[in-house]
A and B are shown apart, each in its own frame.
Chain A
Amino acid sequence: EVVLTQSPGTQSLSPGGRATLSCRAGQNIGRNSVAWYQQKPGQAPRLLVYGASSRATGIPDRFSGSGSGTDFTLTINRLEPEDSAVYYCQHYGAFGGGTKVEIK
């Protein structure tokens, strides 16, 4: 069973800046095998990126995913206050522990 480890646990950033979120798999999981989700308080998760780098419908191009093998990254450019949320990576039935992004 694959274990996904996300880092950092929390990122505090300023509007207009860039967030770089890491998701590391405990074993090689291929090239197109990670999805990313955004979850705001009191809401269900929302799909952002699938297949490691494909944006879901309606997701702005400020969000981009990359990576392969064991290391995957979600990058959020031109941060906006509404990007404050917890972000999760996922591979089949495994979720990472999440990274909280705070925009102040």
Chain B
Amino acid sequence: QVQLQESGPGLVKPSETLSLTCTVSGDSIRSNNYYWVWVRQPPGKGLEWIGSINYSGKTFYNSPLKSRATVSVDTSKNQFSLKLNSVTAADTAVFYCARLDIRMPETTLFDFWGQGTLVTVSA
């Protein structure tokens, strides 16, 4: 069974950089079939895709966040990470890491998710 676990600080100061890591177990991150993604959810609101990466480091980002987000991968540790710079209170959210299955034509699906971690931006 694939499991994903987010880790990182729960509190970040405004203007600083948010850093999170997702550790994957039960599957190798070195697969052509999947991308590894970050999704966030502000309190009481909906889901927002942040960015995705594959094992070779190819990335895609949601346009509104592209200038501030960086997703990276460490295949030796079976981990991938998110950095979001210049954060404000509007970036306060639960951050999820997830696996994105890209095998089917015309569609993608997030089939496994981490439990999520709340990151609060506050002085």
Give A contacts to B, CB under 8 Å: 1, 29-35, 37, 43-47, 50-52, 56, 88, 90-98
Contact = CB atoms under 8 A, between A and B. Distances in A.
A86 to B, nearest CB: 8
Contacts of B109: 35, 47, 50-51, 56, 90
A35 B107 contact: yes
Interface of B: 46-49, 52, 60, 62-63, 96, 98, 101, 104-111, 113-116
Contact of A92 (B46, B108, B111): B108
B106 A88 contact: no
Contacts of A50: 101, 104, 107, 109, 111
Q: Which secondary structure dominates chain A's binding surface?
A: loop
B46 A37 contact: no
A43 B46 CA distance: 13
Given A31-B106, A51-B107, A95 B60 contact: no
Contact of B47 (A29, A47, A95): A95
Given A35-B110, A44-B96, A95 B48 contact: yes
A45 B47 contact: yes
Contacts of A43: 115
